[in-house]
């Protein structure tokens, strides 16, 4: 048996004995129910019609989860140090699909305060950039945006050094250092090992950000962002990033519109791309707010490739309706239609996006209505939500609808509608 676990346990106990000067513990318990309506349109619906059970069905769910947060703070010699942990214990039941454990460690990090310099190592949530609906320069966390229920995301393994001045800050990060020697296929998207940096400068009412990143296999990218509090009610923000290479989906050129025996859609390393976002937020005296954002995501498939996707989808659907097809051909058509849903797994489906959000926050309440619209095909996602916050209880409810014209990508996602109700007790 390796002696390494014993060495690590001894080191933690030794450090803990000197850190347990002050501690901070908190916990949330949440009961969450999700009601989901499957879509009658789209590739998965067509595949299910040909061969029921070919893909996991969209299902209602019930989740019980506990989020535990704990911090130990003290001094090690003359240095202020801390250990922070955040664990999620979660179990989910899906109607007709059984149950699954969704537990994970969100954060587990050690930090040291060296005056102007701060050091951190471990698993940590680290979100960058100024956007709300989309963040081109979220170089480390790469967090999923616009989720229906907000909770602590899973952090990334990293080593970080930060320097703070009166009106400035500099962050240097090595994210996923344990993956530096992994094969490229194991370093897709947020799993990629990379070096990242952010410089921040405050000039009166203006916040300026500069970003740089070097991915182990995607190469370099540079970005910048600005947020300006123009008046007491109006805030303007923008962000831009240029990438040398990026991970994305690609259709095998040899696939055409015919049946394939292996998935024709694969994630691969693609060429350069650009991303940008502009936005504005107005907040009134009665805690009402309006947020407008528009962005371009060059890492999404271009319109020409979605046209090829649509042509393939239509050809497969037409083939499946031919009379007298043998069972093997119908099964092959169902499998190929199911594979057509693969490129839906992406941060952005279309490159051009417009996002609007209305919100009102009277005492204890937050009500919101937002919409994501994609001009290329008219697809949209509309979400209405309400939250009540008490001293120890929080209740969330939301309703989301995916729609648009017949050919819109968002109207062909596996889920047509989803409703959520969650109750959280804090300790």
Q: What is the CATH number of the domain that holds 191?
A: 2.40.160
Q: What is the DSSP letter of 41?
A: S
| C-alpha distance from residue 265 to each of 301, 335, 342 (Å) | 12, 12, 7
Tokens 């951190």, residue located: 120
Whether the predicted pLDDT of 14 surpasses 60: no
pLDDT of residue 24: 87
What pLDDT, in 10s, does the model give residues 40-84? 999 999 999 999 999 888 999 999 999 999 999 998 888 999 999
pLDDT, tens digit, 9 for 90 and up, residues 293-327: 999 999 999 999 999 999 999 999 999 989 888 98
- What domain range includes position 222? 25-426
Give SS3 for 250.
strand
Q: Indicate if the pLDDT at residue 126 is higher than 70.
A: yes
Q: Could you read off the pLDDT of 205-254 as tens digits, one per residue?
A: 999 999 999 999 999 999 999 999 999 999 999 999 999 999 999 999 88
Confidence of residue 22 (pLDDT cuts 50, 70, 90): low
Phi-psi category of residue 77: left, alpha or beta, with phi > 0 → left and psi -120 to 50 → alpha:
left
Q: Is residue 326 domain-resident?
A: yes
Determine the average pLDDT of the residues in 12-38: 77
| Whether the Cβ atoms of residue 137 and residue 241 lie closer than 8 Å to each other | yes
Say if residue 414's pLDDT is above 80: yes
Give the number of C-alpha atoms closer than 13 A to the C-alpha of residue 398, restricted to the C-beta side. Answer: 25
Q: Find the angle CA(13)-CA(18)-CA(21) to the nearest 5 degrees.
A: 120
What pLDDT, in 10s, does the model give residues 343-378? 999 999 999 999 999 999 999 999 999 999 999 999
Within a domain: 111: yes
Residues 406-427, mean pLDDT to the nearest whole number: 96
In a domain, 369, yes or no: yes
Q: Rounded CA gap, 187 and 183, in Å?
A: 7
| Domain assignment present for 230 | yes
Is pTM beyond 0.75? Reply is: yes
Q: Is residue 347 part of a domain?
A: yes
| CA 220 to each of CA 2, 174, 273, 300: distance values in angstroms, whole numbers, following the listed order | 39, 14, 11, 18
Residue indicated by tokens 């989720």: 147
Give the per-residue pLDDT at 112.
96
Round the average pLDDT of the chain to a whole number and report it: 93
User: Measured between alpha carbons, how far is 268 from 253 in angstroms, rounded to an integer?
Assistant: 13
Would 14 be classed as within a structural domain? no
State residue 325's pLDDT score: 87
Residue with the bigger pLDDT between 7 and 85: it is 85
Confidence of residue 21 (pLDDT cuts 50, 70, 90): low
Q: Residue 78: its pLDDT value, please?
A: 85
Chain centroid, CA 45 distance in Å: 25
Amino acid 243: pLDDT: 98
Backbone angles phi, psi at 253, to 5 degrees: -55, -25
Q: State the pLDDT confidence band at 184, using cuts at 50, 70 and 90.
A: confident
Q: How confident is the model at residue 137 (pLDDT cuts 50, 70, 90)?
A: very high
9 lies in a domain?
Answer: no
Distance CA 151, CA 146 (A): 12
Over residues 164-172, the mean pLDDT reads 97
pLDDT score, position 18: 52
Please count the structural domains in the chain.
1
Query: Has residue 124 been placed in a domain?
Result: yes
What is the radius of gyration, based on Cα positions, of the chain? 24
Q: Give how far the C-alpha of residue 409 lies from the chain's centroid of Cα atoms, to the nearest Å.
A: 19
Element (DSSP H or E) covering residue 317: helix 303-320
pLDDT score for 23:
75
């Amino acid at each position: 048996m390796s002696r390494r676990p014993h060495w690590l346990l001894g080191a933690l106990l030794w450090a803990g004995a000197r850190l347990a000067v002050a501690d901070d513990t908190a916990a949330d318990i949440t009961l969450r129910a999700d009601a989901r309506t499957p879509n009658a349109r789209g590739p998965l619906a067509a595949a299910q019609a040909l061969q029921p059970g070919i893909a996991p069905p969209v299902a209602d769910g019930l989740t019980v989860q506990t989020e535990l947060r704990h911090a130990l703070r003290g001094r090690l010699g003359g240095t202020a140090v801390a250990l922070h942990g955040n664990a999620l214990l979660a179990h989910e039941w899906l109607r007709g699909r059984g149950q699954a454990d969704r537990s994970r460690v969100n954060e587990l990090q050690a930090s040291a305060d060296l005056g102007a310099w701060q050091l951190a190592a471990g698993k940590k949530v680290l979100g960058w950039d100024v956007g709300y609906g989309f963040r081109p320069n979220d170089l480390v966390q790469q967090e999923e945006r616009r989720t229906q229920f907000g909770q602590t995301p899973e952090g990334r393994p990293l080593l970080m050094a930060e320097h703070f001045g009166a009106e400035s800050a500099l962050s240097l990060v090595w994210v996923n250092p344990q993956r530096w020697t992994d094969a490229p296929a194991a370093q897709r998207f947020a799993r990629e090992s990379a070096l990242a940096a952010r410089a921040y400068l405050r000039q009166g009412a203006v916040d300026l950000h500069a970003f740089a990143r070097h991915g182990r296999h995607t190469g370099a990218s540079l970005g910048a962002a600005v947020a300006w509090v123009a008046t007491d009610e109006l805030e303007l923000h923008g962000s831009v990033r240029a990438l040398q290479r990026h991970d994305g989906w690609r259709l095998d050129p040899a696939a055409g519109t015919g049946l394939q025996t292996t998935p024709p859609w694969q994630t691969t390393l693609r060429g350069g791309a650009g991303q940008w976002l502009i936005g504005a937020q107005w907040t009134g005296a009665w805690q009402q707010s309006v947020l407008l954002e528009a962005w371009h995501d060059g890492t999404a498939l271009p319109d020409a490739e979605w046209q090829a996707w649509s042509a393939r989808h239509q050809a497969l659907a037409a083939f499946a309706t031919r009379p007298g097809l043998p069972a093997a051909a119908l099964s092959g058509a169902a499998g190929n239609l199911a594979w057509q849903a693969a490129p839906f797994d992406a941060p952005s489906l279309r490159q051009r996006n417009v996002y609007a959000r209305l919100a009102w926050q009277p005492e204890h309440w937050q009500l919101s209505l937002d919409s994501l619209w994609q001009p290329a095909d008219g697809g949209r996602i509309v979400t209405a939500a309400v939250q009540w916050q008490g001293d120890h209880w929080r209740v969330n409810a939301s309703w989301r609808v995916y729609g648009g014209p017949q050919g819109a990508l968002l109207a062909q996602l596996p889920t047509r509608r989803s409703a959520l109700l969650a109750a959280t007790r804090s300790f």
